[in-house]
Amino acid sequence: MRVASLVAGFGLAACASSATAAAAAVPDAGFPVRPVTMIVSYAPGNVTDTLARVMAEGLARKWRQPVTVENRPGMGGSLGAQAAARAPADGYTLLFSAMAAMAINPHVYANVGYDARADFAPIAAVAYPKGVLAVSPALPVNTVAELVAYSKAHPGALNYASLGNGTVPHLNFELLKAATGLQAEHIPYKASSAAMTDMLGGRVQLLQESLAVILPTLQDGKAKALYSSTNERLPELPDVPTAAESVPGFSPLRPWLGLFVPAGVPQDIRAKLESDILAVAAEPAVAERVRTAGMVPLGYGQERFRQELDTDYARLGDLVQRLKIGVD
């Protein structure tokens, strides 16, 4: 009798536990009931900020609550992440951030100020910017193979620009160098406008930039595109090959952009956020704005985004260590 009672007790406890877990996975239909803040890790006008504002507008419409974008640039996106990590874990503070801040910076900075995997819950990956490898029109090259050959024939002649150590363009150039034998030196800049100015002036010869930023320069003939970072050729540049076409087997980093919340946010609120964010991202008008802004829509939720964060955190940490990249 005692054994039977114990078994029954354990059965009731298991049922209660299952019911609790199931309830936790059900979205909170009433959320949100007040304004929401969306911290953006980058400055106004940055591609991350552009996408964040598109999503903030869509969520505000869906929720009938204000969604205020709060820009917190600095440390390559890490200052914004620091602020979000300290926010109350109630779902009313969202972080719109990027691969750089969440999967690269923790390995680059001696004290980044947060644990990207323990302090945050990834909610939804929204898009990634289309990237282009551009070169000065003064260079007598039109393909990656010609660029590599030129670099070997003219040692020390080529410099490439990035926005600093450990940024995605920096890592992409180093990956390209490893894959092809390209010889080029890194010149870090604090602003993309300065890097662009110096490429146009011939002080640097190579630049990896988002399509939205570089397209007018390409159309004016002030730079040449050698490849795109996308899986398929860009409609805007149909004659420009992809990176994989240019260098078989080569795949540059594609810096995802997405939404996170502090790790303590309850599961039901996470589920509601995931559902609503993915619904807004899938709206035809929103998807078109994303594409017009030079980005490729992603649109996947918590489980896959968590897996991608964990994978990128590990592999990019290995890459940073291999290249001995660091910022004090």
- The structure's pTM equals 0.84
Distance from CA of residue 41 to its chain's centroid? 11
pLDDT for 4: 39
Nearest Cα neighbor of 92 from 292, 265, 218 is 265
CB burial class (10 A; 0-12, 13-18, 19+) of residue 26? exposed
Q: Rounded to an integer, what distance in angstroms lies between the CA atom of residue 34 and that of residue 188?
A: 42
Structural domains for the chain: 36-129+255-323 (3.40.190.150), 131-228 (3.40.190.10)
**Look-up: residue for tokens 């890592």?**
171
Pairing state between β 120-129 and 159-162: unpaired
pLDDT for 101: 95
pLDDT tens for the chain, 328 residues: list them. 333 343 334 344 444 444 444 344 566 678 999 999 999 999 888 889 999 999 999 999 999 999 999 999 988 899 999 999 999 999 999 999 999 999 999 999 989 999 999 999 999 999 999 999 999 999 999 999 999 999 999 999 999 999 888 899 999 999 999 999 999 999 998 878 889 899 988 899 999 999 988 999 999 999 999 999 999 999 999 999 999 999 999 989 999 999 999 999 999 999 999 999 999 999 999 999 999 889 999 999 999 999 999 999 999 999 999 988 887 5
